[in-house]
Structure 1
Amino acid sequence: MSLIDITRTGPIWQLQMARPPVNALNPALCLALADAVEQAVAEGAGGIVLAGGTKVFSAGLDVPYLLSLGDDQEALLQAWSAFFRAARALAASPVPVVAAMAGHAPAGGCVLALCCDYRIMANGPFRIGLNETQVGLVAPEGIQALLVRVVGPHRAERLLVAGAMPEADEALRIGLVDELTDIDEVNARAHAWLQALLDLPSMPMRETRAIARRDVVAALAPERIDLERFVAQWRHPDTQAALRAMLARIGK
């Protein structure tokens, strides 16, 4: 069974993560997403809609899987590398990408959305944010830069240090998402937003976009992620205790 459902509507490719129940980002899903983005570009897509599940866009990294790797540093590096391959594929896409979020987008789900050009979220009690500190993690400098880019440095600091996850209306107010709509209209609005861009003269739109998004690509450069340090921190007792407490709360 495919982990990414692909739907083509004219020049727009919709890539829908399909790993129920919450699109937890294990290596297989991350690599499938990166491959799907690259396939869409190679086959001439004009724009991409990144969609997830209803009520949960993506719950972020698959923590039970990561914990199952124990002290296997090489396996942990490979798992996190797969995630950053997906994030970089979205960030570096030469065609515009819109995140269609019909539900919650914590942690890694938020990172994927921040790598997109535009973020549409379902109106309602849905949350988005980088809650890493609440689960014992330190968001790498490059990931923090993605948040700073959209909400500004002081607000990003407050959100990051607290691991805050604002609800949809607050996320819109502070610029973390660009648009709210009814949950049943999220994908349609994403297609409409993309189509409006595709109606512009192609070369000027794409070249202007590439210049404007250089900082997104730069934020995910290896030296700004420092993956080996991040994985080393994964084994810190504070991190392990917080992650296991989180799993206990949600019944995993």
Structure 2
Amino acid sequence: MTIHLELREDIAWATLDHGLDIETCTRLVLALEEADAAGARALVLTGTGDTFSPGIDATRLAEGGARYVEEFLPALSDALLAVFGFPHPVVAAVNGHATGSGLVLAAACDHRVAADGAGRMGVPQLLAGAPFPLAALEILRCAYGTGPLPALAYSGAGLTVEDALARGLVDEVVPAGELPARAGEMAVRLAGVPAEAFAHTKAQLRQPYHERIAENRVADDAQVQRLWSAESTLAAVKSSVDVS
């Protein structure tokens, strides 16, 4: 299973143990639905080992080619939007590397706690010719503002945890051993806000971004799919897999 869901009292913990492929994206949507149905008042999203999320599963993308891209991109946007639109508080416990769509997952949360260490954060895929789908870009815009986005997206740089904190990509940094406790503490604190009032305010804050996505997603997704499916892009992805 690519996502493990556990309910600890009334806080759900969703743990990613795989890069984002079609199955993982689909499972993430279902996990959020399960957490909501189980009565979770908040959710903590985290990863395993030294990685919160590496973003897309580049091996699957390289092997699947254009046909895989056509199915994967809508699943990716749906998964990111499921986190972004979850009505209850979501805390990202960023236990390590958070790159590409993995950073977008963290951005989709309401609070981001990162573990001090060697983890890197950034969005390098533009360097391979693969722009974000609109849903991902709007989530980043909501979390970080329009101003910082060009430098973040165009450079493709992998930032240290300290740099990520300085740039506002995470809200706080704690020693690695304290990460679960701190993330759980923040989830409980946010869950203490009356649920209906929290959900309404969260929806108000994110409404402009949801509206832009709804109005422009179809046309933009077609353009993104074309660029991701280009031979040069797929070759760059394959090269990155071969090197790693």
TM over 0.5: yes
Match status 1:139 vs 2:100: no
Q: Which amino acid aligns with 1:241?
A: A
Contact 2:134/2:221 (8 A) holds in 1: no
The match for 2:190 among 197, 200, 225 is 197
- Alpha-carbon offset, residue 242 of structure 1: 2.0
**Structure 1 residue 223: Cα displacement:** 2.2
Relative to structure 1, the CA distance from residue 180 to residue 162 in structure 2 (aligned partners, 3 Å threshold; closer, same or farther) is same
Stretches of structure 2 that go unaligned for 5 or more consecutive residues are: none
Q: Distance in 2 between matches of 1:6 and 1:194?
A: 15
From 87, 90, 102, give the equivalent of 2:80: 87
What is the deviation of 1:220? 4.3
Aligned-residue offset at 1:141: 4.0
Please, which of 101, 108, 131 is the counterpart of residue 115 of structure 1? 108
Report which structure shows greater RCO (CA 8 Å, sep ≥6).
2
Q: Could you say which residue in structure 2 is the equivalent of 1:53?
A: 48
In 1, the alpha carbon distance for the partners of 2:241 and 2:164 equals 26
Identical aligned residues as a percent? 30
AA aligned to 2:64 is: L
Name the CA shift for 1:241/1:67 in 2 (closer, same or farther; >3 Å).
closer
Alignment-derived partner of residue 243 in structure 2: 249
* 1:142-181 map, 5 Å: 142-181=135-174
For residue 96 of structure 1, report the CA deviation from its aligned partner. Answer: 1.1
Aligned partner (choices 204, 224, 228) of residue 222 of structure 2? 228
How far does the alpha carbon of each residue in 1:140-178 deviate from its partner, in whole angstroms, 9 at most, with x for none? 344233323333333211111111221111111111111
Give the Cα–Cα distance (whole angstroms) in 2 for the partners of residues 218 and 111 of structure 1.
Answer: 18
Provide the residue aligned with 2:24 in structure 1.
29
Displacement of 1:8 after TM fit? Answer: 1.2
TM-score scaled to structure 2, two decimals? 0.91
User: Could you say which residue in structure 2 is the equivalent of 1:102?
Assistant: 95
Distance, in Å, in 1 between the alignment partners of 2:165 and 2:212 is 23
Instruction: Check conservation: 1:77, 1:228, Cα contact below 8 A.
Output: no
Aligned partner of 2:117 in structure 1 is 124
Give the distance between the partners of 1:62 and 1:220, measured in 2 at CA.
Answer: 24
SS at match of 2:117: coil
Aligned-partner SS, 2:88:
coil
Q: Flag the 1:189–1:179 CA change in 2: closer, same or farther, 3 A.
A: same
2:76 is the alignment partner of 1:77: no
Judge conservation of contact 2:32–2:83 (CA < 8 Å) in 1: yes
- Does the CA-based 8 Å contact 1:120-1:177 persist in structure 2? yes
Which one of the candidate residues 222, 240, 249 is aligned to 2:234? 240
Residue 206 of structure 1 and its aligned partner are, at CA, apart by 2.8
Count, aligned residues: 243
The match for 1:41 is: 36
Q: What do the CA deviations read for 1:92-114 (whole angstroms, capped 9, x no partner)?
A: 11111111110001001111111
Contact kept? 2:25, 2:76, Cα under 8 Å: yes
TM-score normalised by L of structure 1 = 0.88
Matched, 1:16 2:15: yes
Quote how far apart the aligned CAs of 1:116 are: 1.1
Contact kept, 8 Å, 2:104 with 2:136, in 1: the verdict is yes
User: Separation in 2 of the partners of 1:6 and 1:67?
Assistant: 29
CA distance in 2, matches of 1:219, 1:67: 30
Offset, 1:216: 4.6
The AA in structure 2 aligned to 1:206 is: A
Q: Contact 2:120/2:161 (CA < 8 Å) preserved in 1?
A: yes
